[in-house]
């Protein structure tokens, strides 16, 4: 096989790989009008107690029953005197207060109870993909998509800004997802795309097409051909760098040292 035909075959493969439908996108996205529609049965300001939260439960006229630093267990329940196990997760503090008043009514005459949420763990958003610091981000108060990305220290140079994926569950627990072009938020074309985040949302920033192409070249050409593909010896791949330092692509290749001639 001639070298020209080989080069043509390689570039044809690269072209098809670059034009192939990108898997990092939602095939059947939820319409944005439905995606951003709040639950009509719940006010935005109402906080829902979550697993891992810590509660103080105080009885106004019966301080001997006070419970401090009560954790919400992984099963969503709390353990209390006289009332045993009580479901607490996904309830507002006011709803839990009414439940406890009903529970203690048989033991105490006209119980007056206060629920104080000391620590919050339910307000979390998970960010992954092409951001500088992927991981869990805590939200305090109303927080938008762009604010979440800023708390992740922004996007990497390989991010696909035209297709940021946001996943969440609706009021019935069914998953839904949307593709959001954050370029329209930045240039002011459609600021409404900067949606408010909800607890346990997942934000995924995929790689751009050119980043996928560069990764393809490195993995399927430079690493597949011993010594590298002719003409690609100086190919730079940003994925060879990680937070732990430089990762050698060709660990068996001896370093090349150039010695300048003596003056």
Burial class (CB in 10 A: 0-12, 13-18, 19+), 128: middle
Domains and CATH numbers, the chain: 54-119 (3.30.1950.10), 123-226 (3.10.560.10)
The average pLDDT across 6-25 equals 59
Verdict on whether the full-model pTM lies above 0.85: no
Question: Taking residues 240-262, what's their average pLDDT?
Answer: 43
From 37-46, 134-143, 217-226, the region with the lowest mean pLDDT: 37-46
- For residue 189, pLDDT over 80 is answered with yes
Query: Does the structure show a pLDDT above 60 at 246?
Result: no
Average pLDDT over residues 154-164: 90
Task: Please report, to the nearest 10 degrees, the dihedral formed by the alpha carbons of residues 113, 119, 121, 127 taken in order.
Answer: 140
Which whole number is the average pLDDT over 35-51?
64
At a CB cut-off of 8 Å and minimum separation 6, what does 64 contact?
none
259 pLDDT tier (thresholds 50, 70, 90)? very low
Percent pLDDT > 90 in the chain is 37
Q: Is the pLDDT of residue 64 over 50?
A: yes
Which of 51-55, 213-217, 223-227: highest mean pLDDT? 51-55
Indicate the range of 15-24, 170-179, 246-255 predicted with least confidence.
246-255
The answer to whether residue 49 scores a pLDDT higher than 80 is yes
CA distances from 194 to 47, 108, 177, 185, 191 (A): 22, 50, 15, 6, 6
For residue 56, pLDDT over 70 is answered with: yes
- The label of the residue with tokens 């709040």 reads 38
């Amino acid at each position: 096989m001639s070298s020209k035909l080989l080069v043509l075959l390689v570039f044809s493969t690269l072209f098809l790989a670059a034009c192939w439908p990108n898997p990092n996108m939602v095939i059947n996205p939820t319409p944005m009008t439905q995606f951003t529609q709040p639950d009509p049965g719940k006010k935005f300001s109402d906080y829902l107690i979550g697993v891992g939260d810590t509660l103080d439960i105080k009885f106004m006229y019966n301080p001997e029953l006070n419970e401090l630093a009560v954790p919400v267990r992984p099963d969503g329940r709390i353990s209390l005197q006289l009332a045993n196990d009580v479901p607490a997760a996904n309830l507002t503090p006011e709803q839990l207060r009414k439940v406890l008043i009903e529970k203690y009514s048989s033991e105490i005459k006209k119980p007056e109870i206060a629920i104080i949420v000391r620590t919050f763990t339910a307000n979390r958003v998970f960010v992954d993909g092409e951001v500088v610091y992927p991981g869990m981000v805590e939200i305090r108060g109303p927080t938008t998509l762009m604010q979440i990305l800023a708390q992740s220290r922004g996007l990497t140079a390989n991010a696909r800004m035209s297709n940021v994926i946001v996943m969440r569950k609706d009021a019935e627990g069914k998953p839904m997802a949307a593709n959001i072009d954050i370029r329209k938020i930045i240039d002011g074309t459609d600021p409404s795309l900067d949606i408010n985040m909800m607890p346990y949302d997942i934000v995924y920033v995929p790689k751009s097409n050119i980043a996928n192409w560069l990764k393809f070249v490195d993995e399927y050409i430079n690493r597949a051909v011993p010594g590298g593909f002719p003409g690609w010896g100086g190919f730079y791949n940003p994925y060879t760098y990680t937070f732990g330092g430089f990762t050698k692509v060709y660990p068996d290749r001896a370093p090349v040292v150039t010695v300048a001639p003596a003056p």
